[in-house]
Amino acid sequence: MKICVLGGCGDMAKVAVRLLNEETDVNEIIIADLNIDKAKAFAQEIGAKASAVKVDAMDPASVSSVVADADVAMGFIGPFYMFEKKIIGACLDAKVPYVSICDDYDAYLDAMTLDARAKAEGVTVIAGLGNSPGITNLLAKKGYQSMDKCRKIHISWAGGSNEDIGLANIKHVLHIFSGHTLQWKNGREIKVKTGMGRKVVEFPAPMGKLPVYYTGHAESVSVPRNLPGLEEVSLRGGIHPPYIAALATTVGLLGLSNTPKKRDKLANFFLPIE
């Protein structure tokens, strides 16, 4: 199997590449990244299975060309609210199946506008198969199917500030704590302010008790669209230490992160701190 990893030099993508390299049924890994020098160095580190190629996510033709010979394309290029729909369209042009770790609710809704096309062309697209969304959706479905009638699903996620993150991830955090997001209540979609809806959830160690808030992750829009009959679906998220979520919320309330340009500037400021 030949896998093309888009954004292959990103922190999360590198983990996937190393795991793919251990799989016996994967015989070729294309590390596609805007920074070709980093891609070449990483491919050399991985070994014989890996090759490097430059890709520009702003150019759909570049993406289509890079993935054309792959059996599957994996998407790690963020922020997803900027790139996901473009990349899916490029993969559909190339007739190549695509799976990503897309986690923005608005990016998911944008991706779903291509659902009919993907089905008509027989190309599999899975947008959002990370931990949250992804594993959370699978667990939600398992619980849903285990009951005679499931009425409510509440999902909470937590991240740690000590995790490996890149520039796109900082932009993502600023985005999901800015403006509004969608939740499901009384069997219909409602708009809520991000950073609100605070509650405390006890996560397994080492996280422990952590405040979580409404955030712009995709589960609150993807779950009710795929599991019929639900009265309520909520999605909250938090970050350890808690002041990071509070800071992101405050920045959002002040209107300092409500456009991509503003988020770009803030992310470049915060990245050296992280």
pLDDT at 161 over 70: no
- Domain segments of the chain: what residues? 2-127, 135-273
pLDDT at 165 over 70: no
- Percent share of the chain, pLDDT over 90: 92
- The per-residue pLDDT for 274 is 43
The arithmetic mean of pLDDT across residues 78-86, rounded, is: 96
Cα–Cα distance for residue pair 45/9, rounded to 1 Å:
12
Cα–Cα distance for residue pair 148/91, rounded to 1 Å:
39
Q: Work out whether strand 72-75 and strand 98-100 pair parallel, antiparallel, or are unpaired.
A: parallel
What's the fold here for domain 135-273?
A: Dihydrodipicolinate Reductase; domain 2 (3.30.360)
Which CATH class name applies to 2-127? alpha beta
Residue type, 63: V
- The per-residue pLDDT for 168 is 85
The arithmetic mean of pLDDT across residues 252-258, rounded, is: 94
Cα–Cα distance for residue pair 14/227, rounded to 1 Å:
33
Residue with tokens 């990071």: 244
- The per-residue pLDDT for 110 is 98
Q: pLDDT (tens digit, 9 = 90+) per residue, 24-81? A: 999 999 999 999 999 999 999 999 999 999 999 999 999 999 999 999 999 999 999 9
- The per-residue pLDDT for 109 is 98
CB 11 within 8 A of CB 38: no
Cα–Cα distance for residue pair 224/182, rounded to 1 Å:
11
Helix (H, G, I), strand (E, B) or coil at 130: strand
pLDDT at 272 over 80: no
The whole-chain average pLDDT of the chain stands at 95
Cα–Cα distance for residue pair 176/237, rounded to 1 Å:
9
- The per-residue pLDDT for 162 is 66
The arithmetic mean of pLDDT across residues 120-134, rounded, is: 97
How is the chain split among helix, strand and coil, in percent rounded to 5? 40, 25, 35
Lowest-pLDDT range of 30-34, 161-165, 191-195: 161-165
Tell me how crowded residue 251 is: count the other CB atoms within 10 A of its CB.
21
Q: pLDDT (tens digit, 9 = 90+) per residue, 233-251? A: 999 999 999 999 999 999 9
Residue with tokens 């993969």: 91
Q: pLDDT (tens digit, 9 = 90+) per residue, 200-236? A: 999 999 899 999 999 999 999 999 999 999 999 999 9
Global pTM reads 0.93
Lowest-pLDDT range of 123-132, 160-169, 239-248, 259-268: 160-169
For residue 203, give the DSSP letter. Answer: P
Cα–Cα distance for residue pair 142/136, rounded to 1 Å:
10
- The per-residue pLDDT for 251 is 94
